[in-house]
Structure 1
Amino acid sequence: MPPTLPINLPPHLSINFLRSYLSAGRLDRARELFDKIPHPDLRSLTVLISAYTKQGHPKESISLYWKLRREKDLKPDRLVLLSVAKACGRSLDLDKAKGIHEEAIKFGFDSDLLLGNVLVDTYGKCGFSEGARRVFDDLPERDVVSWTSLVAAYVNCRLPIEALQSFRDMLSSGTKPNSVTLSTVLRVCSELKALNPGREIHCFVLRNGIEEDAFISSGLADVYANCSSIRQARIVFDSIPRKDIVSWIVILTAYFSDGNSGEALKLFQLMKSEGVAMSSASWNCMISGFAQNGRAEQAFEMLAQMQRLGFKPNKITAASILPACADLESLRGGREIHGYIIRHKFVDDLVVMTALVLMYAKCGDLDKSRGVFSQMPRKDTVAWNIMILANSMHGFGKEALSLFRRMVDSGVRPNSVTFTVVLSGCSHSRLVDEGRSIFNSMSKDHELRPDADHHACMVDILCRAGHLEEAYEFIQSMPMEPIASAWGALLASCKVYKNVELGKIAADHLFEIEPENPGNYILLSNMLVAAKMWDEASKVRTLMRDRMRGRGIAKVPGCSWIQIKNKVYTFVKGDDRNARRDEVCGFLKEMGKKMKLEGYLPDTDYVLQDVDREEKEDTLCSHSEKLAVAFGVLNLNGESVIRVFKNLRICGDCHNAIKFMAKIIGVQIIVRDNVRFHHFRDGSCSCRDLW
C-alpha cells in the first residue's frame, strides 16, 4: 500500500505517488491526490486519463480533460490528446471525439502522425467514416498503421467495399501491410464472399512467408469457407503448424455452414484427442452448429457433455441452445433454459432475450413470448421482427400491425424482413387494405424496394381474402419473375374457393418452377377430385408418378405429435403401434357423439377415397391431429392448455372438430400445422376459419 498522502508535493514527486496508487489498484486515491495538486502537470494528467480508460471508465477520462480545460485553461500536449482520443473511441462518444479533433487542430497537432492514426481509429469505432477519411487525407505522411486504421474504420462502419478499395490503395502507395491489416481485410473478403481478393492475399502471405501466423491463416480459412471452398479451407487449416482455438472454431464453423455436421463432429473429436485446450467458445460452436443444422438432439447432447466436463454455460450457450428447444417444440426445455437465464442474470442480453421470445412463440406459448418481449429494456430491429413474426404465425394480424407501428414510432428502422413478417400477419388475418398500405409504404416511406418475397406475400393476402383474379393480375404485373410461393398461394386458394381453371394455370407454372415437388400435383389432383373431374385428376396423378419415378420422392405422410412431461408421442394415420390407441379411439367415438349433439357434422369431402359415408367418417377419426389432441385430453393432469404440432396443413374437418372438442372439454387447444398456429377456445379458432 502506498504511503499516506503528503501535502503540496512538487509535480516530479506527485506523479510518483500517483503511479504508486494506480499500481496498487487505488484509482480513487489517485484521483484524490490529483485533485489536491494546485497545478497538475501534463504527465500526471496523461497517466490518470490512461488509467481511467484502461480500467473501463473512459467517460471519466473525457470528463476530467474538459474539466481542466474549463477551470484551469489547460493547454494539452499530443500525449494528453492521444489519451483522451482513445477514451472517446472506447466510449463510442462521437461528439467528444469531434471536440478532441478540433482541439488537435487548435493546438497545432493536426499533422501529428501518431495522433492522426488514433483519431482515424476513434472515428471508425464511433461509426463516422467521413471523419476518419478526413483525418487520414489531412495527414502529410502515412504509415502502415494509418492505412490499417482506415481499413478498420470502414469495416466498423459496415462499408466493406470501401474497406477493400482502401486496402488496394494502400498496396498501390507502396505501403506493405502487416498481420493486423491482412486479418482485417480478410474479414472483409469473408463478408463479401470475395474469393479472388482472398486468393490474392493468400498469395501475398505465401510470398512473404507469414503463413504460420494463426490469425492470418484462420482468416484465410474463413474466406474460403464463406466462399463455399471447404476443401481449400481445410488445406489452409491443416497447414497451420500451431493451431489455436480460433483456428479450430473457424474450420468447425465452416463445416457446419456447409451443412456437414458429421465432418464437424469428427474434427471436434480430433480436437479433443490432440489435447487442444477446450473453452466455452468451442462448445458453443458445436451447440450452435448442430442447432442451426436441425440437429437439435445432438445440440442438447453437446450441452450435457459441456456441463459434465465442468464448463459453465454462458450467454452465448443460452442463445445457441434456445433454437434447438424451438425446433423440438420443447416448451419444458425452453422453460428450464429461461430459469437458467434468470438465475445467472442474462436478462439484459439482447441476443439471449430475442432467442427466448422466438422459442416461446415457436413452442406455442405466445403469451409468454409477449411477456419476455415487454420486459426487454432495449429492442433492436431483430427483436421487433421476431415479435411481429410471433404474432403473425399465431394469426394475430392486427397485433402484428400494431407492433410494426410501435416499432416505427420508437425510431427503430424496419428492414426487408420486417415487411415480410408484417405482410404475413395481414395475410393470415385477411387484412387486405392494411396489407396494400404496408406494401406501398416500403418504397414510399422507407426507401426499400419490394422483392419477390414481398410480392408473394401480397399475392397471399389477396388470395386468402378470395380476390383471386386480382391476385392473378398482380402476379402478371410483377417486375420480377414470380417465385413458387406466389403461384403456390394462388393454387391453394383456388382449391379453397373452388376456382379450378385458375388453379390449373397456377399449377402449370409450379410444375415448371419446381417439377419435383409432389405437393403441387396432389393439391391440383384433390381440387379436380372435389370438382368431380376424375379423368383430369387421374392424369395429374400419372404425371406425378412419371416425374417422381426413380427419384425417391414421395408424398410425406401426415404426422402429429405432443409432448407429455419429458416424452414426445407421435401419431400417424393408420399406425397401430401406440399402446393406448384403443383408449384414444374409444374416446374419439364418445366425443364424436357429444360433438354431433352440439351440431358437428363430419365433412367427408376431405376423404378422397370412393367409399360409403360411414367408412369416410371412420377415416376422418383416424387423422393424426385428432389422435394427438385426444391423447392430450386423456393426459391433461390439471393442465389448461393442450399443444399439438403437425407436419402438414390441418384438414378442414379436423379444424372444425377440434373447435367442438375445445368447447365441450373446456380447455384451450393449440395446434401448429406447417402454415401457422391455431388457438381453439370456446368453440372458435383464432384464425377465424381463414387459414
Structure 2
Amino acid sequence: MDPMESTTLPSLPDKLSSHLKCRAIDPRVVHGLSFRLGCLCSTFLSNNLLHAYVSRLMIVHARKLFGVMPQRNVVTWSTMICGYAQTGNLKDAIFLLREMLGSRIPVGEVEDGLLPNKFMNKDEDSLLPNKFTFGSIVTGCARANDLRTGVQIHCDIIKFGVESDTFVAGALIDMYSKCGKVKESWNIFDQTPNKDVVSWTTMITSLANSGQHHLWDYAFKLFKDMICRGIQPVGMTFASLVKTFDAPIKLSQAKQAHGCMVKLGIEVDDLMGSALIAMYGRCGGMDEVIRLCDRINQDVVSQTSLLVAYMQNGFNLEAIDVFRKMIEEKFIMDVFVFASVIGACSMLKELGMGKEIHCLAMRKGFTSDVSVSNALITLYGRCHEIRKAQTVFQLMGDKDMISWTAILTCYSQNGYGEEALLLFRQMLQEGLSPPIFSITSAIQACSTTVSLSTGRQIHSRIVKMGSADNLSVENSLITMYAKCGSIEVAKRVFNSMTNRDIVSWNALIVGHSQHGYETEALELFNQMQKEGLRPNEYTFTGLLVSCSRVGLIAEGCRYFQLMSSEYGLEPIMEHYSCIVDLFGRAGRLHDAMEFIDAMPCEPDQLVWEALLASCKVHGNVELAKFAAKKILQMRPEDPSPYIILSGIHASLGMWDTRARFHAMMKDQGLQKEPGRSWVEAQECSEDIFDMLQVGGI
C-alpha cells in the first residue's frame, strides 16, 4: 500500500472502490470524487476504476485514467490490455503489451512471436505480462477471428512459460477453435497437464461447433472421459454437447446426457429447455419433446424449437398448429419461424395456408429475407403454382444458390423442361457453380423434354466440373439416357459406377421396361437380388409393367404376392393398375374385374383407365361403358372416356353410337387435346449447344 494511504486517508480508497461494485453507479462519478479528494494516487483505487471502465466498455475514459496514473503494476497493464482486446482493438492491445516491456517495435516486425527475446529475462518480474495478460489478448484474437496474431501470441506464451496454465490453455483452445483449427485446439488440450472443467468444456465446445459430423462422436467420448476422471460438467458443457446429437441413431446418447444433467442437478432454464427440445427433435424423440414442453415456459424460443421438431419428424399439421398458437399469443416471431412453417405447408401441399402466411410475411416485411423467399418458391413449386414461384424468384433482391436450385427444381418437377434448361444456362452465364441438386434438376429437365443432345452436353459439363462420380448425378444420368431411348449408354453409366443404390437399379430396370426390353428388366431384378439389394415399391412397378407387356401372367402375380410376403411392402395404386393391365392385355377381362372387386381399397382413376384401355383392345363394349362411367364420376372434365368409347363403337361399325358419344362430349364442353411429340430439329439442337457453350462445354 502507498505510504500516503497509510498516513492520511487509510480507508477512503477502499470505501470508494466498494461503490464501483454497483453497476448502477457511473464510474465517472467515483472518478471525479476520487480526484477531488486526492485519492487517485492509490494504485488500488485506480485499478478498480480502470476495471469498472473496461467492464462497461468505456475504453476512452479508461485510457485517459491509465495515462495519468503515477504508478502502474501488472494488474494495471493487464486490465488496460484486456479492455482493448475485448473491443477488438488488437493493435493497441499488442502495442500496450510492448510498451509494458519498454519496447516500441512495430507490430508484425517480429516473425516468431510479437515480443523480442531480450525482454524474456527482464529483472523487474512485477512488470512482466502474466497469464491474465496473455489470456486476454488470446480471447481478443478469438473474438476478432485473427489467427495470425493469435499464433504469434502463442509463441510469446511459450517464451514466457505460461502455456501450461489452465486459463491460458482454455483461451488458446477457444481461439484456435473459432479460427477453424480444431486439430491445433486438440493438441493444446492434450498437452495441458492439469485440465479443469473450463478446459474440458472448451474442447467439447470446439468439437461441437466444428460442423464436422465425425468430430461430434469424439465430443461425446470426451464427455464420458471427463465424467470418468471425476470432472463434473457444468451447464455450458451440456449446452455444447446437445448440439452433437442430430440423428435418431443418437437418441440413446441424448437421453444419457439429459439423464446426467438431471443427476447432477444442472438447472434446465428456458434456453436449455429449448436446446433439449431441438436435440430430441433431431433425434426423433417426440415423446421427450412433448414432456419437456410441459415443464418449461412457453416462450418464442421454446415454441420455435417445438415447431421445428414437429417438422423434422413429419408432424407438419402439428407444426402449423404451433404457429397458429404463436400468432394467437402474439409472440414476436422472426424470419426463421416463417421459413419453417412455410416449409411445413410445402410438405403438406397446403397452398391456402401457405398463401395466408405469405401475406402475413409481406406485412411484416419478411419476404425480403432469402430463407423465407426460398421456402415460398419451394411451396409454390410443390403446389404446381409455377408463375407464383417465378414471381417470388424475380422479386428477390439477393439470391443465393438455394434460390436458384429451388426455382430450377420447380421447373423440372412440373414438366417445364425448356424453362429449367434456360435457367441453368443463366446460372452458367452469371458464373455460378451449380450444386449437385441443380445439376440433377437440369438432367431431369432433359428427361422431361427427351432432349438427348442437350443431355449429352450437360453430361460433358458435369465431367469437366468433376461431379460425374456423384451417386445422385449418376442415377439422374441413367434415368435421362433411358427416357431418351439410349439404353446402351444408360447401361454404360450404370456399369461404370463404383457405388450403386436401389435408385440406380430401379432407373435401369424401369428404363428397360419402358423401351421394350422386358426380359432384360426381369434379369436385372434377379441380378439385384443376388447382390443383396432390397427392392422397393418402385422396383416392383417396373417388374409388373414388364410382365404385363410380355404377357407373363403367372410371373406378374408371383411378383405381386412377393411384395408383401417376402419384403413387407404394401401395394400402392400403381401396382393394382399394373395387375389389371396384366389381365386385360391377355384378354382376361373377367379376372381383371374380379381382381378390382377384391381390392382392399377403393380403385382410383389409374385402375379404371387400365381396364378401359384393355376393353378397347378386346372390344368389350359393356365393360368399357362401366369403366368409363367410373372415370367420369371421378373426373367429369376428362374427355378420354368419351374418345375411347367412340373409338370402340367405330371399330365395331356402330357409327350412330360413336356420333352420340361425340355429341355428348361436345355438350359437356370437352374437346380432344391435340397430340404432340418432341421433335429435336437440328437448329434447335444447335441453339441449345450454343446456349451451353457459355458455360464452357
Q: TM-score, normalised by structure 2?
A: 0.66
1:367 aligned partner: 421
The answer to whether the aligner puts 1:351 opposite 2:351 as a matched pair is no
Contact 2:411–2:420, Cα closer than 8 Å, also in 1: yes
1:291 aligned partner: 346
Greater CA drift, 612-621 or 458-467: 612-621
The answer to whether the aligner puts 1:264 opposite 2:319 as a matched pair is yes
Matches within 5 A, 1:540-559: 540-548=592-600, 551-552=601-602, 554-555=604-605
Give the match's secondary structure for 2:432: coil
The answer to whether the aligner puts 1:317 opposite 2:369 as a matched pair is no
2:518 aligned partner: 468
1:221 aligned partner: 277
Matches within 5 A, 1:320-339: 320-339=375-394
1:574 aligned partner: 632
1:86-110 Cα deviation digits (max 9, x unpaired): 75786697x9987876776577554
Distance 1:465 1:452, change over 3 A: same
- From the two aligned structures, give the one with the greater strand fraction: 1
Contact 1:401–1:425, Cα closer than 8 Å, also in 2: no
Offset at residue 486 of structure 1 (A): 2.0
From 116, 124, 127, the equivalent of 2:169 is: 116
Consecutive unaligned residues of structure 1, counting only runs of 5 or more, are 1-14, 26-40, 56-63, 444-448, 560-571, 593-601, 631-653, 661-678, 687-691
Distance 1:163 1:619, change over 3 A: farther
Structure-2 separation of matches of 1:99 and 1:608: 92
Matches within 5 A, 1:361-440: 361-363=412-414, 364=416, 365-374=419-428, 375=430, 377-396=432-451, 399-400=454-455, 402-403=457-458, 406-407=461-462, 409-411=464-466, 415-440=470-495
Greater CA drift, 377-386 or 420-429: 377-386
Structure-2 separation of matches of 1:429 and 1:183: 53
1:98-123 Cα deviation digits (max 9, x unpaired): 78767765775543434433444455
The answer to whether the aligner puts 1:149 opposite 2:166 as a matched pair is no
2:295 aligned partner: 239
Offset at residue 355 of structure 1 (A): 1.6
Distance 1:202 1:101, change over 3 A: same
Distance 1:92 1:278, change over 3 A: same
1:499-546 Cα deviation digits (max 9, x unpaired): 6665455444346454542322322322332233x2xx5335424432
Structure-2 separation of matches of 1:75 and 1:605: 99
Contact 1:518–1:544, Cα closer than 8 Å, also in 2: no
Structure-2 separation of matches of 1:320 and 1:415: 26
Give the match's secondary structure for 1:352: helix
1:509 aligned partner: 562
1:486 aligned partner: 539
2:8 aligned partner: none
Structure-1 separation of matches of 2:523 and 2:169: 60
Structure-1 separation of matches of 2:243 and 2:658: 62
AA of the residue aligned to 2:280:
Y
Offset at residue 303 of structure 1 (A): 1.4
The answer to whether the aligner puts 1:134 opposite 2:187 as a matched pair is yes
Structure-2 separation of matches of 1:54 and 1:149: 22
2:304 aligned partner: 249
Distance 1:379 1:302, change over 3 A: same
The answer to whether the aligner puts 1:538 opposite 2:590 as a matched pair is yes
AA of the residue aligned to 1:366:
A
From 94, 99, 109, the equivalent of 1:68 is: 109
Consecutive unaligned residues of structure 2, counting only runs of 5 or more, are 1-49, 61-76, 92-104, 118-128, 610-629, 686-697
Matches within 5 A, 1:602-641: none
Distance 1:521 1:574, change over 3 A: closer
1:259-286 Cα deviation digits (max 9, x unpaired): 4344333332332333422322222222
AA of the residue aligned to 2:405:
T
AA of the residue aligned to 2:108:
K
Give the match's secondary structure for 1:361: helix
2:688 aligned partner: none
AA of the residue aligned to 2:513:
C
Give the match's secondary structure for 1:477: helix
1:384-439 Cα deviation digits (max 9, x unpaired): 34444444455446645654554454356964433333332233223334333433
1:630-665 Cα deviation digits (max 9, x unpaired): 7xxxxxxxxxxxxxxxxxxxxxxx7xx5217xxxxx
Structure-2 separation of matches of 1:606 and 1:509: 37
Structure-1 separation of matches of 2:651 and 2:536: 35
AA of the residue aligned to 2:521:
A
AA of the residue aligned to 2:591:
K
Greater CA drift, 295-304 or 309-318: 309-318
Distance 1:490 1:239, change over 3 A: same
Structure-2 separation of matches of 1:68 and 1:324: 57
Structure-2 separation of matches of 1:430 and 1:223: 48
Matches within 5 A, 1:99-114: 108=161, 110-114=163-167
AA of the residue aligned to 1:265:
I
1:469-496 Cα deviation digits (max 9, x unpaired): 3332222122222223223223224445
AA of the residue aligned to 1:256:
M
Give the match's secondary structure for 1:175: coil
AA of the residue aligned to 2:219:
A
AA of the residue aligned to 1:337:
V
Contact 1:471–1:490, Cα closer than 8 Å, also in 2: yes
Distance 1:136 1:460, change over 3 A: farther
Give the match's secondary structure for 1:140: coil
Distance 1:71 1:109, change over 3 A: closer
1:141-169 Cα deviation digits (max 9, x unpaired): 22333323333333322223222222222
2:578 aligned partner: 523
Matched pairs, number:
557
Structure-1 separation of matches of 2:250 and 2:156: 40
1:57-103 Cα deviation digits (max 9, x unpaired): xxxxxxx998333599744977668757875786697x998787677
Give the match's secondary structure for 1:658: coil
Contact 1:373–1:387, Cα closer than 8 Å, also in 2: no
1:278 aligned partner: 333
Offset at residue 289 of structure 1 (A): 1.7
1:541-565 Cα deviation digits (max 9, x unpaired): 42443241xx456455899xxxxxx
2:102 aligned partner: none
Distance 1:412 1:680, change over 3 A: closer
Give the match's secondary structure for 1:353: helix
CA RMSD of aligned residues (A): 5.0
AA of the residue aligned to 1:164:
F
Distance 1:526 1:97, change over 3 A: farther
Distance 1:73 1:53, change over 3 A: closer
Contact 1:487–1:509, Cα closer than 8 Å, also in 2: no
Offset at residue 138 of structure 1 (A): 1.4
Give the match's secondary structure for 2:632: coil
Structure-2 separation of matches of 1:72 and 1:163: 31
Structure-2 separation of matches of 1:369 and 1:178: 52
Identical-residue share of aligned pairs (%): 17
Structure-1 separation of matches of 2:363 and 2:213: 40
Q: TM-score, normalised by structure 1?
A: 0.66
